[in-house]
Amino acid sequence: MTEMYRTAIVGTGQSVANHLSAVRALPEDVELVAAVDTDETRVKAVCAEHNIPHWYTSVSAMLAAEHPDIVQIVTPPATHTTLAIECLEAGAWVYCEKPLCASLAEFDRIAEAEQRTGRYVSTVFQWRFGSAAQHVKHLINTQALGRPLLGICHTLWYRNEDYYRVPWRGKWATETGGVSATLGIHLADLFLWLLPEWREVQATAATLDRNIEVEDVALATVQFENGALGSIVNSVLSPRQESYLRLDFQQATIEVKALYRYTNDNWRFTPRDSADSAIADCWQIPNDISSTHHAQLAEILAAMAAGSRPPVSGLEARRIVEFLASLYKSAFTHQPVLRGSITPDDPFYHAMNGIPRTVNLP
């Protein structure tokens, strides 16, 4: 019999639906015992609708009363670091929405709290956990398709002015970044996870058509350690929405076209030589697991049971924060940025726009 873990959700806005679905998909592994929101009316309504037994307007009160094993943080980005550290110190693991934190400095504070408490924080990057992406990772690790040579990573979404009327959106201090940090981050993480370590990024960003501080479009070129090249395009200005990833290897091309999640049917495999049965046969995906939050949550719970570090935590989580900081530094300075070059004496270590935040949210 597997252990039943107690979970609480902090933040009951629009994105909470993904986390509620994740819990419902794992009824034998996790029990939702409480929800927290500073909006009492909203948290009461969510708890009543989804049969959540306890509601709170204070994270501290919830932690003291419920002692959850894992807390799912679904609040605005600027609150993540403080909440994650408080949950770690209360003895809970954390499953936190992206972006995990506002800077490398904040990430390193989380890492210190992990080391001090023996608990872990995993970032929501569910695109890694669908069966197709897992299969592609296996093919890359076993070099079944030869070397990766070229990658294309496009998050072309559309968000209107109403989307940015939510008070915390569109501001460096509270959203921590623009489309690259909050929306394009999903596919970019998958891209950077599948390919070898990135070495250098050169980027440009602009605010073209939304009344916001942060960027609404960004373009970046990436050089990888093995010499492969890649391009990343992020947009909230694209009426025909699409998430598109393409990887060209020596022996084949792999593509996925979707929007917010994928199944195996969203992927396409094109071998260099259609007569090469060995290459064609390698595209046999053993399962069809969608890229959902519950696929990642299941892996985190398995790590809890094993007492091991969960996926997308530690250095695996830091690498995407570092990439974002490097992308933004390149866009602001109009210079390429090498991996590992942003150190604590660099203003971009402390904020994505190089200007330390002046707003402290609870």
Residue 280 is predicted with a pLDDT of 84
Question: Does residue 279 share a domain with residue 160?
Answer: yes
Residue with tokens 């049965």: 277
User: Where among 290, 320, 355 does a domain terminate?
Assistant: 290
Whether the bond between 311 and the residue before it is cis, its omega within 30 degrees of 0, is: no
Same domain flag for 48 and 149: no
60 lies in a domain?
A: yes
Which CATH number covers residue 154? 3.30.360.10
Consecutive H or E run containing 353: none
Q: With respect to residue 258, please indicate whether it lies within any of the assigned structural domains.
A: yes
Helices (H), the chain: 16-24, 40-50, 59-66, 80-89, 104-117, 131-141, 172-175, 179-182, 185-194, 277-281, 293-306, 315-333, 347-350
Residue 111 and residue 142 in one domain: no
Looking at the structure, do residues 135 and 284 belong to the same domain, yes or no?
yes
Asked whether the beta carbons of 218 and 154 are under 8 A apart, the reply is no
Please check whether residues 138 and 277 belong to one and the same domain: yes
Are 92 and 137 in a shared domain?
Answer: no
Please say which residue of 240, 257, 290 terminates a domain. 290
How many structural domains does the chain have?
Answer: 2
Structure letter (DSSP) for residue 147: -
Residues 84 and 230 in one domain: no
Q: Of the residues 238, 257, 290, which one is the last residue of a structural domain?
A: 290
Quick one: 187 and 244 in the same domain? yes
pLDDT of residue 357: 64
One domain, residues 94 and 170: no
Residue 219 shares a structural domain with residue 267: yes
The answer as to whether 285 is a domain residue is: yes
pLDDT tens digits in sequence order for the chain, 362 residues long:
368 999 999 999 999 999 999 999 999 999 999 999 999 999 999 999 999 999 999 999 999 999 999 999 999 999 999 999 999 999 999 999 999 999 999 999 999 999 999 999 999 999 999 999 999 999 999 999 999 999 999 999 999 999 999 999 999 999 999 999 999 999 999 999 999 899 999 999 999 999 999 999 999 999 999 999 999 999 999 999 999 999 999 999 999 999 999 999 999 999 998 767 788 889 999 999 999 999 999 999 999 999 999 999 999 999 999 999 999 999 999 999 999 999 999 999 999 999 976 544 43
Whether 51 and 35 have beta carbons less than 8 Å apart is answered as: no
Let me know whether 149 and 274 are in one domain.
yes
Whichever domain contains 22, its CATH number is 3.40.50.720
CB 194 within 8 A of CB 248: no
Domain presence at residue 201 = yes
Q: Which domain holds residue 191?
A: 131-290
pLDDT at 1: 38
Q: Flag whether 315 is in a domain.
A: no
What pLDDT is attached to residue 230? 98
In a shared domain, residues 138 and 286: yes
- Which pTM was predicted? 0.95
**What pLDDT is recorded for position 188?**
98
Q: For residues 300 and 204, what is the distance between their CA atoms, to the nearest angstrom? A: 35
CA distance 102 to 138: 32
Per-residue pLDDT at 361: 42
Report whether 95 contacts 297 (CB < 8 A).
yes
